[in-house]
Amino acid sequence: MEIPGSFGKPFGDFNNLLKLAKDENFKKFLAHPKVQTLMRNEEFKRAVQEKDVFKLMGNQEFRELLQDPEIRSALDEMNKKFSNPA
pLDDT tens sequence across 52-85: 999 999 999 999 999 999 899 888 888 887 776 5
Task: Tell me how crowded residue 6 is: count the other CB atoms within 10 A of its CB.
Answer: 18
Q: What is the mean pLDDT of residues 20-36?
A: 88
What percentage of the chain carries pLDDT values higher than 90? Answer: 41
Q: Is pLDDT above 90 for 14? A: no
Average of per-residue pLDDT values in the chain: 81
| Whether this model's pTM surpasses 0.75 | no
Q: What is the pLDDT of residue 33?
A: 93
User: Higher confidence at residue 12 or residue 14?
Assistant: 14
The alpha carbon of residue 34 and the mean position of all alpha carbons in its chain are separated, in whole angstroms, by 11
pLDDT at position 37 is: 93
66: Cα separation from own chain's centroid: 8
Do 26 and 82 form a contact (C-beta atoms < 8 A)? Answer: no
